Structure 1
Amino acid sequence: MTSPNSAASNTLKLLSANIQAGARTDRYHHYLTRSLNHVLPHASKRDNLSAIASTAREFDLVGLQESDPGSLRSGFVNQTHYLAELAGFPFWSHQANRRLGRFATSANALLCRHEPAEVRDYALPGRVPGRGVLWSRFEFEQGDLIVLVAHLSLGAQSRIGQLSFIAELVHDAHNAVLMGDLNCEIETRELSQFFQRSGMQPPPDRLPSYPSWQPKRAIDHILTTPGVKVHKRWLLPTLASDHLALGAEISLQG
């Protein structure tokens, strides 16, 4: 499954990115002045997606949040499929969740260079429905790898329930990775509880990813179980969103 750029045969390069459906935000006031970009198609989105694909092709597994699976704002283009084609990924999966009629839909998605042995789609609990987690299982010589992609709620109480649900999905897994925009920092109560219940480990360093133009909050994460060795983690320049993307290089310990 490794790409030509991987450091070793059992090393995987991971990327997690909230792509905001291809819309670019460079300042807080753009949420207002560019608000129509969130519900209408715009020519710049194709250029932004091309930039995302250029970065993504250097990785083996790419977890996306806020990828539009085909609504008015994306010109009815499935952005996950589009990115997979542009970046040369032979396999992709997505989970459509939040829908605003025909105007806008968001999906969790995974681009991969190796066919997953199994893919599941779970709805997450929450005060407002529409959040989910995309679950995939890959088979390697060193053992199975479970990969989850999620975009959690803004409210802390909802996140507690969502992370509790995810903890049940991974607590028996030796090798597991959770990628996504979790909308909370590592030291919050909800993530502290999650680490206790799931067996996943907090990362050793804090990498602020939001907002992309002046990063202050470390809310985008790649979390792993002890069976997964993390060689390095790093932030990538703005792709097209209001978040920076997060990269990691990992290997399975067997």
Structure 2
Amino acid sequence: MTDSQHLKVLSANIQAGSSTRGYHDYVARSWSHVLPLGSKQTRLDEIAGLLQDYDIVGLNESDPGSLRSGFRNQTHYLAERGGFEHWSHQPNRSVGGVASSANGLLSRHAPQEIRIHPLPGRIAGRGLLIAKFGTGAEALTVAVCHLSLGAQSRASQLAFIAEHLGDAEHAVLMGDFNCVIDRPEMSQLFNRTNLAPPSESVLTFPSWKPQRGIDHILISDTLRANNLRAMPAAYSDHLAIALDLEVPGKALRKP
């Protein structure tokens, strides 16, 4: 790829700053999912330290401002602490103002356009955030998603995503897919978009003893990537996933 730029990309399900170090914590520390107590501030600062090394970051389960986060928009906080000039978020689910969840995008480059879409499914509360960088044929589309647990809902969500990314020549789709890469419903992305199946997958869940690769960064076959890796995200129940990406030189330039 001539006249290319290099980006470091990371995707992380941060579990709203809550700590899970084993299955027992889902019960023993269930209060942390509804109350602004514990060491969430420390964990957010640890996550911000991790993000500082990256150019574009996708977030799942970032609280947009409810009781459990002390009414703090965690995406905004991480953008400020990580030194990101540009950030966007997409609140998807709110439980009576006690706990809320959002997709987030942090970037050191200014997007030309941001679009947000609720995803279809049997239970509302999943979303797709799409950012477009640059213009014309070399524009870069970056999308963040968080899919459902059920295969039927995931299938309809992936069909929706494929429809919205189908025309993007250079695209990145990242997030918590809640499924491994070779699930039948995933084929819609590879058949209907320029996204390509990854040459390898990394295990991301559960973070304390990874057994399944359910967090992914998918890229178009027009792009190049290397150094796919997983790393702790401050005691979230997911590991973060990252890669080094090569994109067209004009993909991030302002028109």
Residue from 179, 184, 194 that aligns with 1:184: 179
Residue of structure 2 aligned with 1:41, choices 36, 41, 45: 36
Taking the aligned partners of 1:231 and 1:253, their CA distance within structure 2 comes to: 16
> Is this contact kept in 2: 1:209–1:244, CA < 8 A?
yes
Which of 36, 51, 58 aligns to 2:53? It is 58
Which residue does the alignment assign to 2:206? Answer: 211
Does residue 116 of structure 2 align to residue 121 of structure 1?
A: yes
Give the Cα separation in 2 of the matches to 1:57 and 1:68: 20
Cα distance in 1 for partners of 2:73, 2:4 equals: 32
| Structure 2 CA distance for aligned equivalents of residues 195 and 240 of structure 1 | 32
- What is the CA-CA distance between 1:228 and the residue it aligns to? 1.4
1:83 paired residue number: 78
Q: 2:9 aligns with which of 6, 14, 34?
A: 14
The residue aligned with 1:194 is: 189
Match of 1:4 in 2: none
Q: Counterpart of 2:139 in 1: which secondary structure?
A: strand
Moved more, 135-144 or 86-95: 135-144
Task: State how far apart, in whole Å, the 1-side matches of 2:14 and 2:8 are.
Answer: 18
Pair 141,10 (structure 1): closer, same or farther in 2 beyond 3 Å: farther
Of 210, 230, 236, which residue of structure 1 is paired with 2:231? 236
User: Shift of the alpha carbon at 1:196?
Assistant: 1.1
- Aligned to 2:92, what secondary structure does the other structure show? strand
Corresponding residue number in structure 2 for 1:162 = 157
SS at match of 2:221: coil
**Cα displacement (A) at 1:199:** 2.6
Which 5+ residue runs of structure 1 have no aligned equivalent? 1-7
Identify the residue that residue 20 of structure 2 maps to in structure 1.
25
One-letter identity of the residue aligned with 1:234 = R
Secondary structure at the counterpart of residue 125 of structure 1:
coil
User: Could you tell me whether the CA contact under 8 Å between 2:61 and 2:103 is conserved in 1?
Assistant: yes
Change (3 A) 1:251 1:73: same
Query: Partner residue of 1:5?
Result: none
Check if 1:100 corresponds to 2:95.
yes
TM-score of the superposed pair, with normalisation by structure 1: 0.94
Aligned position for 1:137: 132
Deviation at 1:240, TM superposition (A): 3.1
- Residue 9 of structure 1 and its aligned partner are, at CA, apart by 6.7
Give the deviation of 1:253 after TM superposition: 4.4
TM-score (norm 2): 0.94
Distance 1:131 1:239 in 2: 23
CA RMSD in angstroms, aligned pairs only: 1.5
Equivalents in 2 of 1:184, 1:204: separation in Å? 17
Cα 1:79–1:208 change in 2 (3 A) is same
Per-residue Cα deviation, 1:22-52 (whole angstroms, up to 9, x for no partner): 0010000100000000000024000000010
Cα displacement string for residues 148-204 of structure 1 (whole angstroms, at most 9, x for unaligned residues): 001000000000000000001111111000010000101101112321122311111
1:171 aligns with 166
The aligned amino acid for 2:204 is S
Out of 41-50 and 192-201, give the one that drifted further.
192-201
On the 8 A contact 2:21/2:235 being kept in 1, the answer is no
Q: What secondary structure is seen at the aligned counterpart in 1 of 2:32?
A: helix
Residues 142, 252 of structure 1: 8 Å contact kept: no
**Percent identity over paired residues:** 53
Please state whether the residue corresponding to 2:31 is helix, strand or coil.
helix
> Displaced runs of 4+ in structure 1, greater than 2 A?
237-240
SS in 2 for 1:66: strand
